[in-house]
Structure formats: structure tokens, C-alpha cells
Amino acid sequence: MQPPPPASVPASAAIVQLADAPDTPSSVGVAAEEAHELLARARAFAAPLLSGEVFDTGEAALAHADGVAGLLLGLGAAPGVAAAAYLVYAGEYLARPEEVVAKTFGPGYAGLVSHTRKLVQLQRSARDALADARESSSAAHRAAQIERVRKMLLAFSRDLRVVLLRLASRLQTLRHYAASKQPCPRALAEETAQVFAPLANRLGLWQLKWELEDLSFRFLQPEAYQRIARLLDAKRGEREAGVETVRARLAEALAASGVQAEVQGRPKHLYSIWKKMQGKRLPIDRIFDLQALRVIVPSVRDCYAALSRVHELWQPLPEEFDDYIARPKPNGYRSLHTVVLDPADGLRPIEVQIRTREMHEQAESGLAAHWAYKEAGTRGYAGVQADDTLQAPLAQARKAVLHQLLAWERELAAPAPDASGAEAATVPDRWFDERIFVFTPQAEIVELPAGATAIDLAYTLHTELGHRCRGAKVDGAMVPLVTPLQSGQTVEIIATKEGGPSLDWLNPELGYLASPRARAKVRAWFNAIAQAQTIARGRETVEKLLQREGRTTIKLDELAAQLGFRDAQALFEGVGKDEFPLRPIELALRPSEPAPDADELLAQRLARGASEAAVEGGGVLVVGVASLMTTLARCCKPAPPDRIGGYVTRGKGVAVHRESCSNFRQMKQRAPERVIPVTWGKPGSGAEAAVYPVDVFVQAHDRPGLLRDITEVFAKEKTNVIGASTHSNKGIAAMTFTVEVGDAARLDSTLLQVRQIAGVTVARRV
């Protein structure tokens, strides 16, 4: 068994490592020495903040940062990523970390610090939630795990450097527990085995993956770990001698065939041995005696030449052959795998991997390290932009990494065997049926509800983009806008420069929208259009009224406030919706009458005790006052036998209102001393001929001949129409007629006949 790596890299050793590190190819014009200088500057910045600080794991903060930086450099990551490790940990001890880091190292590093710190907080809270879920049920436990992974995906999609930082940090923490021989918290080890190691596997970070698995195995199942370790140590000499024998034989055979190759003995990891024992139910001796070789050659052609020579030397097992060069793994892994039997050693199996140097480097460092970090990313490090020629391959590499994250998330929903070998409860299908993840052309990942369309995506990206969406390309091919999207697809929105949504998008049967949020945005757009039309119609009506009253210079906001509206727009909207009549506006526009003379009011009060007197030719009796001029109010237009009341005006005699008139009720409250009792006079020679104007409101479904049918009813009932106004909106006609009647009670039969006309819904007196 190989001992675990040291817990951290000493500070002095880290500086030496930076000075002696080989130059890293850079396609963004940043010299290797400048990148190393940046790393040294980041450590110098963080050292005073981290010195003497201890994490809750018991590890010295600076030693942890040094260890993480060393791990990242060992993976082949750019020095700028290793520098970010120091800045992330230093941010924990700064009052305004993003602001300070942005000023010193640039906004790119400030964003990385912010994203990583948020993700760490998320992981801590999720770990606590998992502990609670574990006590309730395994299904709840796995559901909480999936939800955490979903949030991690979104965090990683913003900056993939966060992936390497978090994986390296977790490995350094486990190394610390192993080196210090302290018990590792079980929740931490479980999270490593269930989340971090599978993530490293998906990204092809094999160095991290094997060590994360072995260390979590050591802490979760210490007895099994120690048992396998002891048996490995007992057979170490015999096993190493056997591996060296076949290694030398294969190297000699390849050299004799003219194949330039480096042949290595490949160590078996404890966790992989235990896993193979559990999965294939093999005895431990069969696993221990399995010999493993790795062959590294210059070219793909040499890979197949070496494979042919291996099969000539030993007897191959066809069912154990895998060609990952012709058919790479989803995470980009490429290699030839074969298992052969050595007749000279009792048909013991020999596992052989054959790959090129480039394949080997990618297998060791992973797709993410090779592309997204060595090439600095499309946004570069410290604000340095990548060359245009790198934009496309970097976007493709970033998309490939995110594809792996999505596939890994779905794998976690599969049933997992428990300690007894039985399948544990799986996550309900709804966890994946309710949402999907798609990519933009810039390789940004976007979460959408299941069944979402390109229009849903457009509204998620930006409201205006949704309004102007007219087409979409999915994986480079044009598709109808109603096409449901699938996880992992790349979607490009095609939009016009201006325009708005279609009403068809709100029809659920047509399938344009699946997101309630997008549907609400479309509905809001049409509501805003309708409101604007209503306000315009109300403004036009009010402005016409102002012209008739000669008050076009009045301040509209002050008029609206006087009428109880917050502003003129609200007044226009009320008028446009026919929810607010024009009569109160007319009254507000007319000048206030001068205060009544005190003597006049006193004379009125003294006269109220007198007997009633009829008004000549009027038909209205004013109690206590004879020969007083009376007028019928235009706001309510009273007529017999309405209950009425009188109000003494300034210079216009007594205004007669219906007692139900809202204006009359307001005047009674403002000046009750000016209200006098009135009543209808007894019919006489003058009163018999008296007629009164009355307003009638009719609402109906608009159609040709409607107005003719209504006026025919008035003519049949011998009701004289002296005025009419009509308005039609969206197929609904609203009409107001002014008719003359001698007795308002007779009007009821006329209105009953009007209501019987086809299409009429309302017919009433105003």
C-alpha cells in the first residue's frame, strides 16, 4: 500500500516550486514567468491574512492553501488558478473580499472568490440538511443530495475553475485527516464518496478521483480498508516481482517489433480492489494476483501495433477488450483496454492499457484541466482575453464538461446498493421530469421546466428577447417554436429588432409556453398594450370635455387629485374603462359660487315656518317660500314621482335633485343649512302638460339595426327622444338616451320592452 501524500506543501517549498516550474504554453500572450509571478504575489497577499488561522477541521489555513495550490499545479492547471486558491481563502478574513480582490487582482478573480465562497456556504448548509434527511428516510436523503447537485451545477456553470478549486480543497482536507490520524467526520467522508469523487470521475480527473475514493473508503469503512491494506502489504514483494517480470517481457517484445513505448506497472487502488470484490463477488486472492500494465506510445497507429504484439505474446480474453479510442467514453477518456492470460504463470490475468502520451496526459489531468484551465478560458485570467481562435474550442470544451455534469446528476437518481447489496430507495422520477438543462451558444447552462420551448428560454434570458423571439436553432438545426427542448441541447434564439409576442402564445393547447413565468410576461405585455389604449381613449374624452368647458389650460394632475385619483393617467384609465362618469369632472371644472349673503340665508330660515305655496307653472312646491325660482338638476334629472330635495344655489334659485343623487348627498354634508324641503305639485292645468327629461342607459351586443329597434320601441310607447349618445367597444354597445316623460313610473314598461330586444343586456334609468 502506498502511503497517502503529505498533508500540505510547506510555504518555502511552494515558492521554490514556482521558481523552478517549467514554462506553461499560453495562447493569451501571458508569459510563464508573469503567471508564476502572479501566483507568488497572490500567496504574498494571502499569507499575512492566513498565518495563525485554523480552519474548523483543525488544519492551518495557510498550509491548506499551499496544499491546494500544489495540487492544482500538479494537475496541470494554469498558475492563475492556483493563485485563485490563495485569494479564495484570504477572502474569508476580509471585510469586503470581492471589492478588495477586484482592486488588487482584477474583477475576474473577484468573481471567482464570490462564486466559490457562495458554493462553500451552500455545501455546508446542504450537509446539515442531508444529516437531517438521513435520519428520516433514504429516499429523502437521496432527494436532498440531488437538489444539492442541481445547485452545484448552476454554480459550476458560471465559472468552471470552481470545480478544480473545490475538488482540490476537499482532497487536501482528507489528506490532513489522514496525516494527522484524526477521525474524519462521517458526513464529510460520505459527501466525498457520493459527490466529489463521482464528479472527479465525470471530469476525467483520475488523480483526484482515485485518492478521493481511497481516503473516503478509509474513513467510512476502516476495518475493510485495513484488512485489504494488510493483505496487500503481505503479498507486496511477490506481486511487484510478478508485475516487473511481465513489464520487462512486454517492453522487450515491443522494442523488438520496432514500437517505441514506455511500459509501466499500474498500481491498483484499495477502493477499486474492494469495489471489484463486491461487484464481481470474487475472492480476494483473485483480485490481488491481477497484474496491471500501462503502455504509452507516440501515436494512435502505435497503439494498435502494440495491441497486436500484446495479443501475440499472451492469450486475449475477447469479452474483456474495450476500444475507447474508436469509441471514447462520454468524459473524453481514450485508451485501449485488454485482459490477457499468461500461460507461463498459470494463466494468471494481466490487464493492459495502451494509449498515446496525449491520451495519458488527458486521462491524468482531465478534460477540464486540459482545456478550460491551461487555455485560461474565454475571459482569460486577470482580465486578459483569449485569442479569437480559441473561442470555439474553449466553448466546446466547456460544453463537454457541463454535459458530463448533467449526465452525472441523472446517474445519481439510479438505485444505489446499500451495505447488504440490496437496492436503496431511488429518487422519485419527478426530480428529473420537472426540469431540464440546456445550453446557450456561449455554453451557459440554463435551467427550464420540463417541456419548455425556445420561447421559454428566450424569456428566461431576457424579457425583451422573449418578446422579439421569432425562431430557434437546436443543435444547429431550425425547429418550430413549439418544439419541446431536451436536456443537453444547445439552443440559439433568433429574434427581430423590434416587435412583440403573439396572442397564440397564451393558448395552452398550441404548446408555445410551458413556463408560468414566461406566460406571465406575455400576458403583462398585452395588458400594457390594452392599458395604453384605454388611457388614450380616456385622455381623448377628457380633453374634449375640457374644450367644451373652456378649461384646456387646467393642470390635469391637480384635477385628478381633486377627483380622488393618484394622477392624470389613473383618471384617464377610469374614464376610458367607463368606470368614472364625466359629470363629476364637469362639476369640478365649473367655478365655485360665491358665499351666500348672510341676510339672504336668514330670510330663508325665517320664511320656513310659513305655509306651502305652489310655484306657478312649475309643478314643484317649495315648502315655506312662494314664487321662488326652481330648476331641475341636470346631474340626476328628477321626474315625478321621484323623491326629491331642494338646494338653494347662488343666483339660480332652488336646484331640485333626486334624494338618491350622489351630488345632492355631498352638498347636504357640506352645507346642510342650504337644503330646503320640496315636493311635486298636484297635477293641474299647468302640471298636466309638464314633461321632464330623463336619461336611460342601454347596453347590448352590437349588431346592425340595433339602434333602429330601440328607437322604434320609444316611438311605439310615445316617448319623445331628445338626445342620444352611443359607444361601441369590442362588440359591446353602450347607449345613453335622453327622453321626455310626464311620469317616470310609466318609463318602467318602456324599459321592459327595450330589454326584450335581441342582444340587449341592460336597460335602466340613469
Over its C-alpha atoms, the chain yields an Rg (Å, rounded) of 44
How sure is the predictor about 436, in pLDDT bands with cuts at 50, 70 and 90?
A: confident
Residues 258-270, mean pLDDT to the nearest whole number: 81
Residues 363-376, mean pLDDT to the nearest whole number: 49
The b/e string for 106-141 (b: 16+ C-beta within 10 A; e otherwise) is eebbbbbbbbbbebbeebeebbebbeebbeeeeebb
pLDDT tens for each residue of 175-230: 999 998 888 988 888 888 877 887 777 676 777 888 899 899 999 988 888 887 77
Residue-by-residue DSSP string for 650-670: SSS-EEEEETT-HHHHHHHHH
Cβ atoms 548, 510 nearer than 8 A: no
How sure is the predictor about 416, in pLDDT bands with cuts at 50, 70 and 90?
A: very low
Pick 6 or 554 by higher pLDDT: 554
- The pLDDT value given to residue 599: 44
From the number of C-beta atoms within 10 Å of its C-beta (0-12, 13-18, 19+), residue 653 rates as middle
Residue type, 554: I
Kindly report the CATH number that applies to the domain delimited by 11-388+393-402.
1.10.3210.10
- The pLDDT value given to residue 469: 94
Q: Which fold has domain 434-514?
A: Ubiquitin-like (UB roll) (3.10.20)
Pick 267 or 37 by higher pLDDT: 37
pLDDT tens for each residue of 595-613: 455 445 444 544 444 333 3
Pick 663 or 373 by higher pLDDT: 663
Cβ atoms 204, 368 nearer than 8 A: yes
Q: Which of 405-419, 632-646, 733-747 has the lowest mean pLDDT?
A: 405-419
Q: Which of 96-110, 267-281, 569-583 has the lowest mean pLDDT?
A: 267-281
Q: What contacts 547, CB < 8 A, 6 or more positions away?
A: none
How sure is the predictor about 288, in pLDDT bands with cuts at 50, 70 and 90?
A: very low
How sure is the predictor about 371, in pLDDT bands with cuts at 50, 70 and 90?
A: very low
Pick 554 or 454 by higher pLDDT: 454
How crowded is the C-beta side of 276, counted as CA atoms within 13 Å? Answer: 15
Cα 603 from Cα 624, distance rounded (Å): 11
The secondary structure of residue 139, as a DSSP letter, is H
- The pLDDT value given to residue 513: 93
What are the phi and psi torsion angles at 272 (to 5°)?
-65, -35
- The pLDDT value given to residue 188: 85
pLDDT tens for each residue of 45-59: 999 999 989 888 889
**pLDDT above 90: residue 124:** no
Strands 315-316 and 654-658: unpaired
The reply to whether omega before 48 is within 30° of 0 (cis) is: no
One-letter-per-residue 3-state SS of 277-299: HHHHCCCHHHHHCCEEEEEEECC
Mean pLDDT value across the chain: 76
**pLDDT above 70: residue 749:** yes
From the number of C-beta atoms within 10 Å of its C-beta (0-12, 13-18, 19+), residue 311 rates as middle
Q: Which of 309-318, 373-382, 625-634, 686-695 has the lowest mean pLDDT?
A: 373-382
Residues 564-569, mean pLDDT to the nearest whole number: 87
692-765: CATH, from 1.20.120.1730, 3.30.70.260, 1.10.357.10, 3.30.460.80: 3.30.70.260
Cβ atoms 482, 457 nearer than 8 A: no
* Sequence ranges of the domains in the chain: 11-388+393-402, 434-514, 525-589, 598-688, 692-765
H or E stretch covering 98: helix 97-105
